[in-house]
Amino acid sequence: MSHPAAEAGWLTTTVNLANLALGSGLLAIPSAVQTGGIVWTLVWMVVFATVSGITLNVIQKAIAALSIQHKQHVATYMHAVKLAFGDRAELALSALILLKLYGTGIAYLIVVGDSLEPLTISAYEDKGDVPWYMQRQALISYFTVAIVLPLSLFRTLTALRFFSGLGVMAILYTATFVVADASSALEDEKADFTYMASGWDLFKPIGVLVLAFGCQLQSPQVFAEIRDPLMAADSPLDPNEGKEVVVSTTSADNVLDKPIKILEHGNSLADESTADEETALLIDPIDSPLKRMLPSVQRRVGVMNIAIVLTMIISFSLQATTGVFASLAYANLPGNVLNRYSPTKAPVVVARVAIAIAVTLTYPLVHSTARWTAYGLYCRYKQQQLRPPSTVAHVLLTVLFVVITWGVSLVITDVGVVLAVIGSAAGILTNYTIPALLVVRRGSPWQDNGRAKIAGWCLVGCSIPLGVFGVATVFL
């Protein structure tokens, strides 16, 4: 099912996903490449990009299936897990999501401080101490009040599409600057580098790379806001009614693989081949919006697949190129690659401002999922059905999230550690382990696909130890 105000096409969907997948991870990629070795880290990047694309596809197909099976509008990650695994799994996932998203929000604001503070220090180098209103804490506060908070008040991701586009362009400029500067440096002398690290260093890039392509948590909201490309948003019925489409049945058939004809049988829709009330999905054609949504599911899945492929290509290209060139040209790269550049040159100033703007424009997308998660916990406590929050609740939740992440970012300065810990622990579980469990669970669209179930169990088995190793290497 689509969002009641679904307006997003493939371009909007791609821009939002790419903005989420890139985020601030680009800054830590060069250090990760240098630590793990160029060839070895590129292999990890290919693996994570490929698996991320697959898990994104799994999530949106599972959500489409769950929406149809349960006749509910599923637009959040935690709602999908609740329907698939139950209330306890939803509660545990909510805690994981909040942990991950709070950490990500903190990391974004840390990047703002890391990017802008050297500029003010350089500007006041000959004038004495930097005044308090131009120090790191003040700069973070300005961006939080002027950009982060207002944009976080938007209710839908589609409404943020133009800001997401600006954020992607800002990241593109930063990547272009790093690659161009590294190319110039390579003409003079290459830095020492390794093709493949050894020992614990082999696993150290995991904490950063797992976030390099991670937009799984927000993907249900992105998918829910996709419009059917062949149907107007206010169309009462699908124009392809009567043609072969793919829907679910209450007998847990392969939801997205079985062709069924939409036919009217009194006040219901049924499978033409059986017309069996025990196996057919019964829908009231007047009261239920499912009637016009069902035939559009596959087309919306197709739009999402296009956006997923484009997002992975964009993310991999930018991050791999930046990481390889910087690691070849420079030695002893810091966790934030911009910290190795002198802040006095104009291109560096622009790059630092660009990345500060980029991460503050990504923050609202991350926050939207956190807000829905927190509100879902509130509804669970009150034993209420999850609905869009009131204006007061919406504003309060937004302000609370922004204030907490802002406060922590004022005292934490190492973005590399934050990204590594959050990425290795919560990131791997929510981005890879849970989507794999969506494949292997009983009643999934892949329950009769033996190879898909084997792949799912393999991903479950591999992702957990990788998360443990990733966290351990941060402190070793």
Using only C-alpha atoms, the chain has a radius of gyration, in whole angstroms, of 23
List the one residue out of 92, 162, 150, 76 whose CA is nearest residue 388.
Answer: 76
Q: Which residues pair with 8 in a beta bridge?
A: 226
Q: Which residues pair with 206 in a beta bridge?
A: none
Amino acid at 204: K
Measure the CA–CA gap between 99 and 137, rounded to whole angstroms: 23
Alpha helices in 71-86 (DSSP H): 77-85
Query: What pLDDT, on the 0 to 100 scale, is given for residue 421?
Result: 64
Ordered per-residue pLDDT tens for the chain, 476 residues: 445 456 778 899 999 999 988 876 788 888 888 888 888 889 989 988 999 999 999 898 888 888 877 777 788 888 888 888 888 888 888 887 887 788 888 888 988 988 888 888 888 877 778 888 888 899 999 999 999 999 999 988 888 989 999 999 999 999 999 999 888 888 766 666 677 777 777 777 876 787 788 888 888 888 888 887 665 444 433 344 334 333 333 333 344 444 333 333 333 333 334 434 333 333 333 333 344 445 567 778 888 999 999 999 999 999 999 999 988 888 888 877 888 888 888 888 999 999 999 989 999 998 998 898 888 888 888 887 777 888 999 999 999 999 999 998 888 776 556 555 665 667 778 888 889 988 888 777 787 788 888 988 998 888 877 777 766 766 66
The three-point CA angle 303-58-438 to 5° equals: 150
Query: What pLDDT, on the 0 to 100 scale, is given for residue 230?
Result: 64
Residue 102 CA, distance from chain mean position: 14
Neighbour-count burial of 350, counting CB atoms closer than 10 A to its CB (0-12 exposed, 13-18 middle, 19+ buried): middle
Query: What pLDDT, on the 0 to 100 scale, is given for residue 291?
Result: 42
Q: Are 102 and 370 in contact (CB under 8 A)?
A: yes
Cα–Cα separations (whole angstroms), residue 415 to 108, 236, 418: 8, 49, 5
Query: What pLDDT, on the 0 to 100 scale, is given for residue 165?
Result: 92
